[in-house]
Structure 1
Amino acid sequence: MKSFTEWFFTTLGAAVVIYYGAKLLLFTRMLYPKRWFPLPKSFFSSMGEWAVITGASEGIGRQYAFALAEQGMNVVIMSRTKMTLDKVAKEISETTRRLVKVIVVDFTKDDVFADIEEQLKYLDIGVLVNNVGMMPSVVPRRFLEDEDLDQTIRRVINCNVKTMVKMCKIILPGMENRRKGVIVNIASGIASIPFPMYSLYAASKIFVERFSQGLHAEYKDKGIIIQAVTPFGVSTRMVGYQQTNATMLAPQDFVTSSLQYIRAGDKTYGSLCHMFLGWLLHTIPLKILHTEFMLQGLKEYVERKQAEKSSSSVVKEA
């Protein structure tokens, strides 16, 4: 009996060491993406002639469009503001000498996808970036505090959930036929846990994450990479263009980093600093994060940041 007990605990201990050793090895690979997940110079252009980016008029989407054009791809940029899209298209064309196609569409509305499918059907699309998304409010608030909740629910689900699924439906068949392609779906780091005060937004983004992971499992054997990218702070209009720092990244820096992790699995944080933030968030008990003190503190922090930004803008204009 004694020898069996010793054998059992020795085996159990060895299994635990091997398990966590493997996890540590996988973690250390994320520190050196260029070494562990190298990409040939022609990787993206080899997927197809065109890249499609939703929400490409500014922020993260705009930078993905520039980055993929610089990789030798023609790009289709989609958003709801024609004037801004035309300006971005001109900048990309002049900078990279690649073709740029503009599609004006408001993804918060219903029944916009038939026209999109018609405009894309003859293109050899190798990369899709589902970036477009909306947050009901920059300042945290409870679900029932929205003044027009029914309208907000419809807009958020259309923009954050329905658009991603429908764009995959439109573009994935061509990738499957050619047995190659890349789909990047932008989720959010705050969807890592149940996130009060941003409940609707966070829930929509966890859908993005789970859908992407499931789809990747379905189509990875057909040469298609489908990845959820889950950033925390990126200085865009969605977060009030907060000042960049070690964790609040500029869109260009975030996109450059995230593209290095394309072959790193079905989900990445897109950057090393956001990976550490994700780890930190998971180490704090939810009972602490969900206390009224923490929720009120979050709200006051965001309100203060917004006030500082408004004050700074007034000073600059003066």
Structure 2
Amino acid sequence: MDLMELFFISLGTAVIVCYGVKLLLFSRILFPKMWFPLSKSFFTSMGEWAVVTGASEGIGRAYAFALAEQGMNVVIMSRTKVALDQVAKEIGDTTGQKVKVIITDFIQENVFSEIEDQLRDLNIGVLVNNVGVLPSYVPCKFLESAELDQTITRVINCNVKTVAKMCKIILPGMEKRRKGVILNISSGAASVPFPLYTLYAASKVFVERFSQGLQAEYKDKGIIIQAVAPFGVSTRMVDYQKTNMMTLSPEDFVKSSLQYLRAGDKTHGSVCHILLGWLLQSIPSKVLYAEYVLHSLQDYVKKKAAQRALNATFENHKNK
């Protein structure tokens, strides 16, 4: 066998092994229950209580319900008392679990000492850092954002500072007990630089890197820390877009994402969103950031918002 023949045999073997590994990894995505199983008592074994920020609606509400259904008592946090009280009643009536309500506005300064006091004596096994703010539903360039100084403060306080502060409050107890789960909700928009949602996407990059760094630091303490980066989920933040294969309901997304809890320090949370993440990262930046593409995105969202407002007006007149 000459060197050339040996080279091609080695190259062919390497290609087969490479694609074999990719196929194996893909099968893990398709069958998370088989590859990343969780016992029925997994969440309750972490601790008695789960804490969920931004739990009055959307993804946060869905996490609070899902964890209560797993047998955990839940602390739900948001700035809207009426909505939180309603969620607390629904969780209590549906699951029989205890619910503690904490009213707070994460956009404001100096709210965390009071939160720490209210959480001090709880055995917290799960933290879901879900609360977040989108500067504007309609995409726009950074300097075109309304009230830019206030917008920067709001996004940093809510999307960045809150994640770090809540981990500072809750992580020490998990480290002491050598167990716990922290889920930090990022966004698919953090997968690549995302023009017209620049500030929001950048804040979610922090969530991912912070989560991945913490997981490396505390994995040997028995703590799971994961960034969850969804794409389309039908919530108020995206004007309740109609659900489909790519845009999931909060409940469906949360149910799916929890199946990937042991899948690593970051997950997009569902098969469709994982595939979308791969696709987005494979598109050449010259195409993704072309003026035509950005203008098309802006026009599309504006039309969707206008159509939704028109439909809402029609419904209001019809119901009078």
With the shorter chain as reference, the TM-score category is over 0.9
Distance 1:215 1:244 in 2: 33
Name whichever of 151-160 and 23-32 sits farther off: 23-32
Is the alpha carbon distance of 1:9 and 1:218 closer, same or farther for their aligned partners in structure 2, counting shifts above 3 Å? Answer: farther
Distance 2:18 2:52 in 1: 39
Provide the secondary structure at the position in 2 that maps to 1:77: strand
Query: What is the CA deviation profile of residues 9-47 of structure 1, one whole-angstrom value per residue up to 9, with x for unaligned ones?
Result: 543443343233213211211101111111111111110
Please show how residues 49-60 of structure 1 align to structure 2 within 5 Å. 49-60=48-59
User: Which residue in the other structure is 1:100 paired with?
Assistant: 99
User: Which residue in the other structure is 1:32 paired with?
Assistant: 31
Displacement of 1:246 after TM fit?
1.2
User: Which residue in the other structure is 1:226 paired with?
Assistant: 225
User: Which residue in the other structure is 1:134 paired with?
Assistant: 133
**What is the RMSD computed on CA atoms of the aligned residues?**
1.3
Displacement of 1:6 after TM fit?
4.5
8 A Cα contact 1:242 1:309, kept in partner: no
Gap runs ≥5 in structure 2: none
User: Which residue in the other structure is 2:306 paired with?
Assistant: 307
8 A Cα contact 1:128 1:182, kept in partner: yes
Displacement of 1:112 after TM fit?
0.9
Gap runs ≥5 in structure 1: none
Displacement of 1:313 after TM fit?
1.1
User: Which residue in the other structure is 2:87 paired with?
Assistant: 88
Letter in 1 for 2:44: S
User: Which residue in the other structure is 1:177 paired with?
Assistant: 176
8 A Cα contact 1:45 1:72, kept in partner: yes
Distance 1:276 1:129 in 2: 24
Name whichever of 58-67 and 206-215 sits farther off: 206-215
Please show how residues 1-318 of structure 1 align to structure 2 within 5 Å. 3-4=2-3, 6-8=5-7, 10-318=9-317
Provide the secondary structure at the position in 2 that maps to 1:89: helix
8 A Cα contact 1:56 1:78, kept in partner: yes
Displacement of 1:5 after TM fit?
5.0
8 A Cα contact 1:181 1:224, kept in partner: yes
Query: What is the CA deviation profile of residues 170-216 of structure 1, one whole-angstrom value per residue up to 9, with x for unaligned ones?
Result: 11111111111100010000110110000000000011111111111
Query: What is the CA deviation profile of residues 93-144 of structure 1, one whole-angstrom value per residue up to 9, with x for unaligned ones?
Result: 1111111001111111111111111111110000000000001000000000
Distance 2:16 2:124 in 1: 45
Displacement of 1:247 after TM fit?
0.8
Provide the secondary structure at the position in 1 that maps to 2:217: helix
Distance 2:278 2:164 in 1: 28
Distance 2:147 2:2 in 1: 69
Query: So what's the TM-score if we normalise by structure 2?
Result: 0.96
